[in-house]
């Protein structure tokens, strides 16, 4: 997900500390799930309303972990806002439009794309075409239209690049991106 988010951000001109914050946030976006019971995290089926309410608290838990913690604090925009939606119906703060940090809007596209294309305990991976139809349908409601305009141009290339990658190949792609943006 960090590699996908950085790929989008590069094409949007993010550099320096903005890119570093996006990458750090990508790594740490769900750190608050450490406070969510395994019975909810690993549930193979759909969460009920009470379970979903508990799951949503991972954002606040995450903010408690990263806020004021040196370099971890740089991840706070993505941690805090990766579930906000362009139309204001997201959580936890119902912020909308350009009030959502750009890094969080970029990450949201990357995260949903990855989630839809990947196997999960509760679902099989979706095809590229089905995934893109969902992202397109939700552009302007869930997703920032400017981010989707960029992602749309690289989506198929991204999907093709990752579809048959081994875990070690994905790690190498990410290492290269981290080296580039952190000067390592």
Yes or no: say if 95 and 88 are a contact pair by the CB < 8 Å rule.
yes
Candidate from 81-90, 96-105, 160-169 with smallest mean pLDDT = 160-169
In the block, which residue shows the tokens 């990508």? Answer: 26
* Cα 96 from Cα 100, distance rounded (Å): 6
- Look at the alpha carbons of 66, 72, 73, 79 in this order and tell me if their dihedral is positive or negative: negative
Instruction: Note the pLDDT tens digit of each residue in 7-57.
Output: 999 999 999 999 999 999 999 999 999 999 999 998 888 899 999 999 999
Token pair belonging to 12: 């949007």
- Look at the alpha carbons of 9, 102, 141, 110 in this order and tell me if their dihedral is positive or negative: positive
- pTM of this prediction? 0.94
Per-residue pLDDT, averaged over 142-162, amounts to 97
């Amino acid at each position: 997900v960090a590699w996908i988010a950085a790929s989008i951000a590069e094409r949007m001109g993010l550099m320096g500390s903005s890119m570093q914050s996006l990458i750090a946030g990508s790594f740490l976006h769900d750190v608050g799930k450490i406070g969510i019971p395994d019975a909810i995290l690993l549930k193979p089926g759909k969460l009920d309303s009470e379970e979903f309410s508990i799951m949503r608290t991972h954002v606040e838990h995450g903010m408690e972990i990263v806020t004021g913690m040196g370099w971890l604090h740089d991840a706070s925009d993505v941690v805090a806002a990766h579930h906000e939606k362009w139309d204001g119906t997201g959580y936890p703060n119902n912020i909308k439009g350009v009030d959502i940090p750009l890094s969080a809007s970029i990450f949201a596209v990357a995260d949903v794309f990855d989630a839809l294309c990947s196997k999960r305990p509760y679902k099989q991976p979706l095809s590229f075409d089905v995934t893109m139809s969902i992202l397109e349908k939700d552009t302007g409601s869930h997703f920032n239209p400017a981010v989707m305009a960029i992602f749309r141009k690289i989506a198929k290339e991204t999907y093709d690049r990752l579809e048959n990658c081994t875990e070690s190949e994905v790690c190498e792609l990410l290492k290269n991106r981290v080296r580039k943006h952190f000067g390592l």
